[in-house]
Amino acid sequence: MARRAYRYRFYPTPEQAEQLARTFGCVRYVDNRALAERSRAWTQEQRRVTYAQTDKWLTAGKRDPDTAWLTEPPKGPLQAALRHLQAAYVNFWTKRAGYPRFKKKGTTTDSATYFRGRFTYRDGKLTLAKQDRPLRIGWSRPLPEGAVPSQVTVSRNARGQYHVSTLVETTVHDGPRTDAAVGIDAGITSLVTLSTGEKIVNPRHERRDRVKLARALRALARPQRSSKNRAKARARVAKVYGRIADRRRDLLHELSTRIIHENQTVVIEDLSVRNMVRNHSLARAISDASWAELRRMLEYKAAWYGRDVITIDRFSPSGKTCSACGRIVDTLPPGVPEWTCRCGAVHDRDVNAAKVILAAGRAVAACGDGVRPPRT
């Protein structure tokens, strides 16, 4: 059994939208208040506040006349906010993430999580707690037969679009076994180059809408803060950003699914995107390519379908190594698309790098050589 999330867009009624807006506001308040208290307790008293203590504070806040409005939304999303904050602190303590941040209204996606018992799902209809009618959901694909959501997360993005993510337990069958293996070299001109010689052109989604984005950002700079015109301008900026993100995500999903279905073993490089974007000349193009998101998709889809994703050392000289004889050239300027080795082999730079990555991945699978511990 595997836990999978299915995300759909839904269209709330005015009453549902108003109730969700209050829920989002209370969730944001509880999260920020608990974060402030935990930060204060540590900086001033060197004391860690536990989840149980924040839960007691939430109960007391509902009884306080000044914050009695916390009783309006269901209690499930408020408790879920405290659990998510606790998980964020655990990730910070284990050095898997940075320190938790405060949530600001209008700049982040609003969300609320409902655990089992705080919603009902019957006959394909989902009804949230304290709502009298089911959500009008655009079921773009059905849930697995017999699956019942164990957790539901509703969200509203900066464009005003509502989405619901349902977490279900389902049986995922491994794909048909194959002996195919592929090495992947990430790039900018070509989004990825496969060791088979295939190149996936980088559509550069951000560059396509750069003029629209610049015009929308200039319009955002003119209105006064907190004015209605500024809110409208912010919505136009969010619309442009959202279209870019949607197109990028759709391409990455199609590409990662095809690669996983066609190959038993996928070999990639352990790229440090965070350090690479410090190059101001390439930061925009690297961020638009979204290599880290592609890697994430490949890893979780491989786990679903019984495939293997091997990550080789980021310092492996794949670009300067001859895939025919193994010789490593001293220098290879960035603008050289082809080069010739002393052995006489003529290489396409990206295709050769993908072949070397595949060979290194096979070596890792055989003896574990040259690989760092996997990410946790």
Read off the pLDDT of residues 295-337 as tens digits, 9 standing for 90 and up: 999 999 998 888 999 998 888 888 888 988 888 888 887 778 8
Active-site residue, 31 included:
no
Amino acid at 307: R
Q: What is the pTM of this model?
A: 0.84
Average pLDDT of the segment spanning 260-285: 88
Is 185 considered catalytic here? Answer: yes
pLDDT band at 368 (very low <50, low <70, confident <90, very high): low
Task: Please state, in angstroms and rounded to a whole number, the distance separating the CA atoms of residues 264 and 364.
Answer: 15
166 DSSP 8-state letter: E
Residue 92's SS3 state is helix
Res 256 pLDDT > 70: yes
Query: Which residues partner with 121 through β-bridges?
Result: 126
Partner residues linked to 312 by β-bridges: 269
Catalytic entry in 110, 185, 206, 288? 185
132 classed as catalytic: no
pLDDT value of residue 373: 42
Q: Which of 31, 110, 206, 269 is catalytic?
A: 269
Helix (H) and strand (E) counts in the chain: 10, 14
